[in-house]
Every structure is written in structure tokens, then in C-alpha cells.
Amino acid sequence: MNPLANKLLMDRPVAYHPVLAKALGGVTTALFLSQLLYWSDKGPGPDGWIWKTQADWETETGLTRREQETARKHLRAQGILEEQLAGVPAQLYYRVHFNMLENALMSEVPQPSMAESAKLDRRKTPT
């Protein structure tokens, strides 16, 4: 591979979780949340709040302002994202509600049928 292309591609990749796209309704929302999950334990406090500017999000993810706003809207509507303006000048802080995220993910996990459960438990399959 070309050294310049290699440097560009390996510089700062974003870990993307495809299961989030299915659970949350789209790739843009999943990409935004994947990056937020990456940063959520790196904030200054133990409460999970982090702040980033719109330009930070765009630099890290490539998401435009409109795409960011749409992703945030979807995440807030699902109760997964909490936002708070704080400080002077005001900065927008973000926090993930992990229990709501877990609920969204669990709704996407296929539940085994009774027949499949019986096979897994090595019991006789119901008739």
C-alpha cells in the first residue's frame, strides 16, 4: 500500500459496532454512539460526562453538523443520550445511559424459540 494512504488510513480509526446500527436505526447514529462510548470512560469525572465540540466530532468521525444533530436526536429520543450545557462559555456535555442502551441492544438479540431452547438444553423438542 502507498505509504501516504497507509498513514491516512491508520492514523485515527473509529471503532464502529454494526449491531448498534441495527438496534438504533442507522449507521450515522451508531457511528456517533460508538465514538461516544470510546470516550465515555475517559472524561475527567467518574460520572461519565464528556464534552466535545461539533468540530471535534467532525474531525473524529467525519459526521457533519447535521448528521451529528440527527444522531443526537435519535439517541435522546431512545433515552440513550443525556446532554447538558455547562460552564462559561457554555459547553455541551454528553453522557450515555447504559441501561437504556442495553435495553435497545437486547431488543435486537434474537430470542431462541422453545424448540431451539430445548435443543440447547438437550431436552426433547416440544411437539
Strand pairing report for 91-96 and 81-86: antiparallel
b (16+ CB within 10 A) / e for 23-58: bbbebbbbbbbbbbeebbeeeeeeebbbbbeeeebe
- Termini Cα distance of the chain: 58
How confident is the model at residue 68, as a pLDDT?
97
83-88: long-range contacts, CB 8 A cutoff, minimum separation 24: 84/49
CA proximity to 27, closest of 74, 97, 95: 74
How confident is the model at residue 11, as a pLDDT?
66
Please indicate, yes or no, whether the overall pTM of this predicted structure exceeds 0.85.
no
17 SS3 class: coil
Q: Which of the residues in the chain have pLDDT under 50?
A: none
Is the preceding omega at residue 89 within 30 degrees of 0, hence cis? Answer: yes
Q: What is the pLDDT of residues 9-41, one digit of tens each?
A: 666 777 888 889 999 989 999 999 999 999 988
How confident is the model at residue 47, as a pLDDT?
84
